[in-house]
Amino acid sequence: MYIGHFAIAYVLIRLFPGIPPLVPLIGVSFPDILWPVFVFLGFEKAEINPDSPLQKYVRFTSYPYSHSLAVSFIISCTAGLILASAIDPIAGIVFVIASASHWFMDAIVHLGDLPVLGSRRDKKVGLGLWNRPRTAFAIEYIFYASVVLFVMPTAYFLPLLLLGAAGHLLNANSFLGFTRTNPFKSLKLYAIFALIGFIGFSLMANYMLSDIATF
Ligand SMILES: [Zn+2]
């Protein structure tokens, strides 16, 4: 999941207006910022399908740290503690909530590969919405847009809806399969795309929301 995560960040931004927007934006992205780093370090593994760009054919064979409910929570608590001492305790708590939301949102779309504890014989979950790529594509944007319209002040509707549409379209090939083969020729390239996607979206949303606390 990509833009759907940021809808949760918007809710937290509205609930905690005193916290810099970048805190929940990076928070909801945190597991997908860790994942490319861990792929490069060799800690986590996945296989892309060279014959298809569809997200449902990416096999997340092992990601017990960035994407297990328990271990990712512990890592985000460590980051949250640093934030709590650097900014304020609420910022740390908001970051941990945002990061925890990532796993629950991913659980809607992933195909039964999300680890719970991160242990060797772990239970893995996922409702598998990615098995219906067109439906998943529509639902993710509808969810994002609904949250924007429901929680954000009117002045932010257009920029955030456009930002979401741009991000979602960048990711559209993995739902709709415009290309016959996978444009990502290696897992590392795919991981870099994910990293840039999450950090880039966070920075752009943060820029657009820089004066949100005054609304
Ligand atoms: Zn994820």
* pLDDT of amino acid 14: 96
**Distance from the alpha carbon of residue 67 to the mean position of ligand 1, in angstroms:** 7
**Distance from the alpha carbon of residue 32 to the mean position of ligand 1, in angstroms:** 5
Region 201-208: mean pLDDT is 98
Tally of structural domains, the chain: 1
Rounded Cα–Cα distance for residues 75 and 177 (Å):
34
Distance of CA 39 to the CA centre of its chain: 16
* pLDDT of amino acid 163: 98
Say whether pLDDT at 215 is over 80: no
**Residue 210 near residue 69 (C-beta atoms within 8 A):** no
**Residue 191 near residue 45 (C-beta atoms within 8 A):** no
Distance of CA 126 to the CA centre of its chain: 15
**Distance from the alpha carbon of residue 17 to the mean position of ligand 1, in angstroms:** 26
pTM of the predicted structure, to 2 decimals: 0.95
Write the pLDDT tens digit of every residue in 157-195.
Answer: 999 999 999 999 999 999 999 998 999 989 999 999 999
Which residues are within 5 Å of ligand 1 (an ion), measured at CB?
31-32, 106
**Distance from the alpha carbon of residue 51 to the mean position of ligand 1, in angstroms:** 22
Q: How sure is the predictor about 126, in pLDDT bands with cuts at 50, 70 and 90?
A: very high
Length of the chain counted residue by residue: 215
Region 68-96: mean pLDDT is 96
**Distance from the alpha carbon of residue 44 to the mean position of ligand 1, in angstroms:** 13
Q: How sure is the predictor about 120, in pLDDT bands with cuts at 50, 70 and 90?
A: confident
Q: Mean pLDDT across the chain, nearest whole number?
A: 95
Write the pLDDT tens digit of every residue in 51-61.
Answer: 999 999 999 99
**Distance from the alpha carbon of residue 171 to the mean position of ligand 1, in angstroms:** 14
Region 137-149: mean pLDDT is 98
Say whether pLDDT at 213 is over 90: no
**Distance from the alpha carbon of residue 93 to the mean position of ligand 1, in angstroms:** 20
Containing structural domain, residue 11: 3-214
Write the pLDDT tens digit of every residue in 14-53.
Answer: 999 999 999 999 999 999 999 999 999 999 999 999 999 9
**Distance from the alpha carbon of residue 31 to the mean position of ligand 1, in angstroms:** 6
